[in-house]
Structure formats: structure tokens, C-alpha cells
Structure 1
Amino acid sequence: MEKGVLICVDDEIIVLTALKDQLRRAFGSDFHIDVAESAEEALELLDELGDEGHKLLVIVSDWQMPGMKGDEFLIKAHQRFPSVVKIMLSGQAESEAVDRARRDAALHDFMAKPWNAEALVESIKQGLKERGV
């Protein structure tokens, strides 16, 4: 059986590295973990993975990124892949943006940076459980 994909999106490499390390420790080789440094790059990656038939399971995205903000990205991702669990991590997200992502992108969870790794893993597990994964 093919592994599902978890995608982390943040414009800071150090954050992406930390997320990838934490998720690998938590999930081992259960999932393929991919990263993108911008919303635009993440949308391309999502389309590519979707076209190749990969099972997209989770997106963990920052809000404050150059170009496209996280709420706009998650809404676009939701339009293409509505069943994906979407989590926003941010140290400075505007409440209107979080509300918009909850309403228009079925945002599963919002977590403030610095995040708690155990809470993030639990949120991912809960989101997957709610979607029957």
C-alpha cells in the first residue's frame, strides 16, 4: 500500500526542518513527508503529487509568507483536495484570516508558533481519525 503524504509549508527553512524532524520521529515511515518554501511551490507540489496518484493527507502551513498568505493557500488547496487535513501554524496570523480558513478551507486546527510538537502530532492524528484514515 502506498504511503500517504504530509506536506509542510513555510518560508523559513529552520521551521521546515524542525517540522519534518518532529513528524518523522512521531510517524516514522508511515507517511511520506514533503516540504515547500512558499504557497505557490506548495500548490505546484500538490498538483504534481495529485496527478501522480499520491494520497494527500495533511497540510501544515504557515500564515505569514511572501506572496500568498496561508489562508489563501489553504483555501486554494481545499478547492482541489477537500479531504486533506489542514493545520495552520503561525506566530502572527490575523484572526480574520484564521476564521476565513476555518470557513472556506475547513481548517482543522490553528496552532501558535512556537508550537508544541506533541500537540501538533495529536492534532494530525485526530484530523486523520475524523477522515477515516
Structure 2
Amino acid sequence: MSKKLLAGIVFGSVATAAGWALLPEAKRQELRARANSKLNDAADYVTDYALTALDIVDERLAEMDNAGVADGLKAATQKVKAKKDQVVDHLANDDFDEQTAAIREKLANASPAADQDDDIVIDATADDREEN
């Protein structure tokens, strides 16, 4: 498939070059002028389209600014900063030692009957001492 495609491209290029060489100079000038005209028309169309799109975007941005989007964004930014400060304060100032001690106390006061049914062994050193 790719060999046929390559052969077609080469053959088409050779045929186009031969046809171009056989054209009289006046016809070549006319074809160049038409191709340049079409190219300029396409460039003008693309430029007009891009400028129209930019105008639409500018209008939408102006509408959003008038609708208070900037104020909403500022309010959201302030909420995020407040939440960040709250989390940083919690991590920096809370006493995790007291919370850890409370959890350890609850575990120490757990009933021995419940320990017999547990599958998880937290302290294996006690079992090692009993075997020796």
C-alpha cells in the first residue's frame, strides 16, 4: 500500500512538473496570479475570522467582569486562604500527644475477653516471653 502511495506521489509530481514546463509563459503568469489571489482571499478570511473571535471573547470577558466574576473570584480566594490558615493552625497548635495518650488509655482499658477474639497482634514480645 505504501509503495503504491509513494509511486503515485512521485508520478503525480513528475506529471505536474512536465505539464508546468509545457505551458506557455502567459498561462503560467495567469495561474500564478489566480493562485496568489486565492491564497490572499484565504488569508483575509482567516484574519477576519480570528478578529471576530477575539471580539467575541472580549465581549464575554467584559460581560463576566460586569457580572461580578472578579468579586466572586476574590471571595473564593479569601475562603481558600481562610481554610488554609485553619488547617495550618490545627497542624501547628493542636496537642497530638494528649490525643495519642487518650487513644493509648482506651486501648489499655480494653477488656481481655475482646483480645482473645482479635486477629491483629499489636505486641508480639509478650508471646515470645511465654514460649521461653
Same topology, TM > 0.5: no
Give the TM-score normalised by structure 2.
Answer: 0.16
Work out which of the two has the higher radius of gyration on C-alpha atoms and give 1 or 2: 2
Instruction: Determine which structure has the larger strand proportion and give its number.
Output: 1
Instruction: Determine which structure has the larger helix proportion and give its number.
Output: 2
